[in-house]
Structure 1
Amino acid sequence: MLISETGPSLDVISVLYTIEGLLQAVIVVIIMPWLDTNMFWKFFLSTWIILMGPPLAICALGKIHWVFYLVTLLLVDVAMTVATGLLSVLLLRSIAWEHISTFHKQVSTLAGFTIGASYVQMPLKSGVGSWEAASLIGHGAIALLLLLVYATHRNAMRKFWDDLAEPIQRGENGDMEEEDLSELEEIDEEELGEDPPSLVRMTEHERKTADANLPGLLE
């Protein structure tokens, strides 16, 4: 809407959006290999780019030229891809496995409220009279909420920093260490036997015996 008010027609804007999407895909492919280090800073920097980019463009850059709206959109889209890509790594390296599901549900609920609140931008603009004020109010409220979370969870933020300080190490076996790989390759020959029976040739008795021994093998 802002571009169409000060720039080209909707047909041209749709073409520009297509080009922006292609540039986003290329940029993401280029920067992904550099996300293995300093993940804490890169994740939170990307989230703040998403938060502060639109107000900056609406209140300042867009007034210089409408092309800055597209530039900001490209920057925000790339930052969103980076944040989404790093989120799973952050969770797996910072939170105990049994807590990931609960944490993800809590964050998804908060994200749902935030997304739902974003749909009041149009009536908010009508109420305050300008897109600038609506953008500052909408994004400013989320910024204050994030600052409150950071201030009340300083120990957790420090723990994230410590846990994510080490880069991801990848060798010939991927992310696995040699010791972990050797443990997976070990086979208990006493339980499995030198020549385990084929599933095709197993009798009903052998199949029941194998099923009974399966929990012990998994442990």
Structure 2
Amino acid sequence: MASKLSLLASVVVLSVGALTAGAANAALTFTIGTQVSSPIAQNDFEQMCCSTFPTNTVYSQGGVSVQFVGGGTVLTNVAPDGSFAFYTPGEDGYFDITLTGGGTFNELSLRAVGLWSPDGGAFEYEGLNNGNFIGGGGVSSPGFSAPEFLTFSGGTMNELRIQGQQFNFPLVNAAAASAVSIDDIKIGIAGVPEPATWALTIFGFGGVGGAMRRRRALFA
């Protein structure tokens, strides 16, 4: 009986480990040329109606909310794909992206094209979770003057800030001029357990519970 309990407990431990392995808050990474394959929310800006959009105002579509935190005006007719996007022609500030209604995620992709100056421009990004910095970085003089898919992944966050700086500052800087057009935002949660994993976990807990009940009955 003890060996059976030990075996079932091992099944539970292994199953729970499989469930939580992907939830660790790893450093945020940035890759060019990839996108989220199974998004839980998506914003392609195609429900917009106007050529401009006010800054410091949230635009929500498909479960994704975006705003430009800063000055000036957002242009929507400079699109990497389709008819609409969010573009800032050198305004001070940054784009802030979240799930509409809140919630955490660990991967986000978007399509971007930048107008960085060749003498020191940079693409900067940082992820936050409830205001706490979880990771970020930058790419000096980025090599994607044509539209490219960019993916940010590896850390659990509820907010991603990005900025196409005309001059290179450390990370995202609210006082830095940003010139970048973003489109096709996709948000996902990587490492979600497969149904078989959930079934194994439930079986393991049920088996341990049943064995413990039988053992109590034997010694009652």
Q: If the length of structure 1 is used for normalisation, what is the TM-score?
A: 0.22
Rg comparison, structure with higher value: 1
Greater share of strand residues, 1 or 2? 2
Higher RCO (C-alpha under 8 Å, 6+ residues apart) = 2
Greater share of helix residues, 1 or 2? 1
